[in-house]
Amino acid sequence: MFDQLNPMPADPILGLLNEYRQDTNPNKVDLGVGVYKDPAGHTPILECVKTAEQYRLSTENTKVYIGPTGSADFNTLITELCFDNEHPALLANRIRTVSTPGGTGALRVAADFITRCKKDAVIWVSDPTWANHTGLFEAAGITVKTYPYYDYDTKSLKFEEMIACLEQVSADDVVLLHACCHNPSGMDLTQEQWDIVAELAKTKGFTPLIDMAYQGFGTDEDTDAYGVRKMAATVENMILCSSCSKNFGLYRERIGSCSIISSSAAKADTAFSVLLYVVRCLYSMPPAHGAAIVETILGSAELKQQWLDELKHMRDRINGNRKLLVDALHGLNVDLDFSFITEQKGMFSFLGVNPQQVEQLKNEYSVYMVGSSRISIAGITETNVDYLAQSIAKVL
Ligand code: LMR
């Protein structure tokens, strides 16, 4: 039976990790996978996480099954972080949340939930979107279509085309939106644009699925959730998938959440029962460790403040890196204007070089980025920025 298998191509993002690790060039630069790095190129464990882990180690007294929903305390606290504890949908008891194995787990739970709502469902994703969105939804049997989003030439949003496309979307369809720090373009909707999209979702009746993988990496944890909160205050039905990988630095612990918002508390109970069934069939129940860390942090005023400070530190460093790269490139008098990079938000931007130049940067200069020329800004350091800018200038 296995003889019928054909090898799958390497994952466009994770495949780079192996190549980078095997590269022996001492000047190699990793702008591939979206992980935060400090000025030494290391991905540290947050101090608040260390403290919470020590607390967990000394107080944990069982390893018994946690159940498909995961930790109730985590679910409450993460819902309040995403939506705000005064949100009308929360006060009306219309939100149900489960802990999931990372943001990707949340998306897969959402995908299976959607197919329970409608067989042959269609989801619209931005062009471009995170490389894994398409495979993930197709694996669940959902048809993936795209709406215009990023203009590679003008480095801006195609907002009018996006709206014109979403005007045509069927009321039975799902539309995936990135809450903030759009992956891969770094171009976010403004608050005014979110207002327009939320009104459109309400009038057209499509179901928004918002993917929030970078809350706190854009402007701050509340501003980054503007679209989520606005949408949830406007429409009757919505799905939110969130991740604690980046903002809590918990990548390998795999902790995220999937929230379903329904039109009434009773309908939310029904949706929740479906959600539990979906989780039970997919992986039975989520891992507990990451959730325990997050709930310890969010449940303590002192640790939460420490986390917000550490989050700000990561955000400021990434924004600083944007300027560092642009200054270094402009200092080399390259013909292209890269200032758009400083105007974008979050972990990523498109450098704007072609696929051959991406290959050349990898093969000749050991500079690693996704084939679309998406760069993970966190991989830039004061030490590697000159080498990086010179390598880019050479391939241009
Ligand atoms: C990325 O886009 O680099 C991250 O979300 C990591 C991943 O799983 O792809």
95 pLDDT above the threshold of 90? yes
| The pLDDT value given to residue 258 | 98
| Ligand 1: centre distance to CA 268 (Å) | 31
| The pLDDT value given to residue 199 | 98
- Please work out whether the CB of residue 33 comes within 6 Å of at least one atom of ligand 1: yes
Question: Could you write out the three-class secondary structure of the chain?
Answer: CHHHCCCCCCCCCHHHHHHHHHCCCCCCEECCCCCCCCCCCCCCCCHHHHHHHHHHHHHCCCCCCCCCCCCHHHHHHHHHHHHCCCCHHHHCCCEEEEEECHHHHHHHHHHHHHHHHCCCCEEEEEECCCHHHHHHHHHCCCEEEEEECEECCCCEECHHHHHHHHCCCCCCCEEEEECCCCCCCCCCCCHHHHHHHHHHHHHHCCEEEEEECCCCCCCCCCHHHHHHHHHHHHCCCEEEEEECCCCCCCHHHCCEEEEEECCCHHHHHHHHHHHHHHHHHHCCCCCCHHHHHHHHHHCCHHHHHHHHHHHHHHHHHHHHHHHHHHHHHHHCCCCCCCCHHHHCCCCEEECCCCHHHHHHHHHHHCEECCCCCEEEHHHCCCCCHHHHHHHHHHHC
- Please work out whether the CB of residue 34 comes within 6 Å of at least one atom of ligand 1: yes
| The pLDDT value given to residue 333 | 86
Residues 184-196 pLDDT 10s: 999 999 999 999 9
| The pLDDT value given to residue 335 | 85
| The pLDDT value given to residue 133 | 98
102 pLDDT above the threshold of 90? yes
Q: Which domains does the chain have, with CATH numbers?
A: 11-44+315-395 (3.90.1150.10), 65-299 (3.40.640.10)
Q: Catalytic positions, please?
A: 130, 211, 246
Residues 140-164 pLDDT 10s: 999 999 999 999 999 999 999 999 9
Residues 239-271 pLDDT 10s: 999 999 999 999 999 999 999 999 999 999 999
| Ligand 1: centre distance to CA 136 (Å) | 13
- Please work out whether the CB of residue 13 comes within 6 Å of at least one atom of ligand 1: yes
| Ligand 1: centre distance to CA 69 (Å) | 24
Residues 282-340 pLDDT 10s: 999 999 999 999 999 999 999 999 999 999 999 999 999 999 999 999 999 888 899 99
Residues 17-47 pLDDT 10s: 999 999 999 999 999 999 999 999 999 999 9
